[in-house]
Structure 1
Amino acid sequence: MSKSAEIYRKNLPFYYPIVGDIPPSRAARFLAKAFRKEDRSRLTVVDAGCGEGRDTLFLLREGFHVIALDASERNLKVLSQKSIEANIASGMLECRIADLAKKIPIGDSEVDALLDVWVLGPIILRYDGKAGAIRYLKEVYRVLKLGGLFVSEFETLIPNLSSEELKKYFANLVKGFFSIITLESIETDYVHYLAIQNLHRIEENSAILAITQKEDIRRGVKKYPKLSKTPSFDPSRGS
């Protein structure tokens, strides 16, 4: 088991009672908007590090087939029950145990998009280092179809980065895997709750919404649909 998965599972009892039910992430809402003109029932989206499923349930209601990945079997059981209570159609949700810093349990070029909210930045990069982050990005690249989207809410945990410094940091991290579509600051003094040893609050100017696309220079990349302004974000409601 990777260190990030170990820390994550250890601190779950402290995390959800504090965070509670919060609205879908901005990244999830952006992802849904990106495919607004397509038949979503034919698209497969991965929610990496799905937790109890706030974004998974949102994407299911938006009509996507969702593969929910998490290191916690308990979280996946909670999500499965929530999907039943929400009357989600059978077959639209798949729940799989995953140690994301090691392996994504999905075949090559199988999915249309992967959603990552606070997995790459504050979890894998912090506890498994850059090597773990690169390994994870290689896995994300592997499972996405050509032209597939990697949508991330990303935080470095490095204090006092300017918006431009953070964008450059992220762009350098994914260079060679993905072409950048959008990098934008989410909020200054962005607040996110993260359970590490003792639950604490992180308030830093270090969060961005990153929308990237799998690229292959030899084969070309399908054109990404032009998007209007991203959904509004209320920092008081969490990530």
Structure 2
Amino acid sequence: KTQAQGGMQLATVQEKLRGGVLEAKKEPTAEERFRQLENDCHTLVEESAMLNQQGRLTDALQKAKDAVKKERHLCRQREAHNLADQINVDLTYSVLFNLANQQQACGQYPDALTTYTNIVKNKQYPQSGRLRVNMGNIYYAQQKYPTAIKMYRMALDQIPNTGKEIRYKILRNIGHAFFRMGQFSDAIDAYENIMQGNPDFQTGFNLLLCYFALGDKDKLKQGFTRLLSIQQEGLEEEDEEDLEDLN
């Protein structure tokens, strides 16, 4: 640099100092740091869900674990600043629910059940009881059908009568579990309940199988006639074990 250039730069700095323009970079406040950590958690959950959709289940699970770690760090930081009352319980629910989902997707059933249990037993999440459907589906996958049915029924108790669509989904899962156990009469009760309120072809077909297994020819004829009146949508996409998860 020439002497003239150096002199010009020095003069500029001196002018800024006189005008109070040159300031040290401000450190972010505690609340700004907390807000950034919350945003980071949301981003990790979104990335985890996206990886799951892409079939990259291991990567999705790792992102979910990272989100939980970051959220716990955020909680500790708030507590250290005597701001525990500002802990975002919705964010805690979000990261834990996503973790349970990813554990379930990876077949890590004991871990997923533990995470789901921690959520449903937390009194801060009164509506989380419906997640017992997901727990029931895990037990179903493990062929623990009685426990699966117990979970489904506990979830059903949490769903108001106005939530008919969800109730029918849970009833369908109950019917599937009874069918797998060979308890066809109980499966019929569940399937017939669905057919009376929200009939679909697959449930009607499963009902026919139950009637056939019990040798009930009259019901078999009635069921077949009713089945013919139902539009055959999605039959190829669904099968007896198409269990419903709830979010």
Fold conserved between structures, TM > 0.5: no
Q: Which has the larger radius of gyration?
A: 2
In terms of fraction of residues, the more strand-rich structure is 1
TM-score by length of 2: 0.27
Higher helix share: 2
- The TM-score, its normalising length taken from structure 1, stands at 0.28
Larger RCO, structure (CA 8 Å, separation 6 or more): 1
